[in-house]
């Protein structure tokens, strides 16, 4: 998921712990019925997260400073790529459905 200029950066004073973030990712993975091969957290310049063709997910360290709602959006977006590899109609419909509930 690309970082865009329009994205307002709202740093939290305290970062959420890595363990908590990983727990959020795992919880959503279960809900979506996907199993990431690997989950990594590392600094990324142009993206909030990426998904390799082998199912390895990488999240930007900066996400730990982002509000829960924004983290959730990025997590669900990236996990959903394990089901749908593009940003087509199905992807957008599923993303909306998961984020609205």
Question: In the complex with Zn ion, which residue's Cβ is closer, 1 or 25?
Answer: 1
Question: In the complex with Zn ion, which residue's Cβ is closer, 1 or 39?
Answer: 1
Phi (first) and psi of residue 55, to 5 degrees: 85, 20
Binding string, 1-40, against Zn ion, x = CB under 5 A?
x---------------------------------------
List Cα–Cα distances, 43 to 11, 83, 98, in angstroms: 15, 25, 27
State how far the Cα of 9 lies from the Cα of 55, in Å rounded to an integer: 28
When CB distances to Zn ion are compared, the closest residue is 1
Question: In the complex with Zn ion, which residue's Cβ is closer, 15 or 50?
Answer: 50
Least Cβ distance, residue 86 to Zn ion (angstroms): 8
Q: Residue 49 contacts by C-beta under 8 Å, 6 or more apart in sequence?
A: 1, 57, 58, 59, 60, 63, 74, 75, 77, 78
Least Cβ distance, residue 98 to Zn ion (angstroms): 14
- Residues interacting with Zn ion, by CB under 5 A? 1
């Amino acid at each position: 998921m690309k970082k865009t200029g329009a994205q307002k950066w709202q740093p939290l004073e305290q970062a959420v712990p890595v363990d908590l973030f990983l727990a959020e990712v795992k919880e959503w993975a279960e809900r979506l019925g996907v199993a990431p091969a690997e989950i990594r957290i590392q600094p990324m310049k142009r993206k909030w997260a990426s998904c390799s063709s082998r199912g390895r997910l990488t999240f930007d360290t900066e996400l730990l400073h982002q509000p829960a709602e924004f983290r959730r959006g990025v997590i669900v977006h990236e996990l959903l790529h394990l089901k749908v590899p593009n940003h087509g109609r199905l992807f957008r419909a599923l993303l909306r459905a998961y984020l609205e509930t």
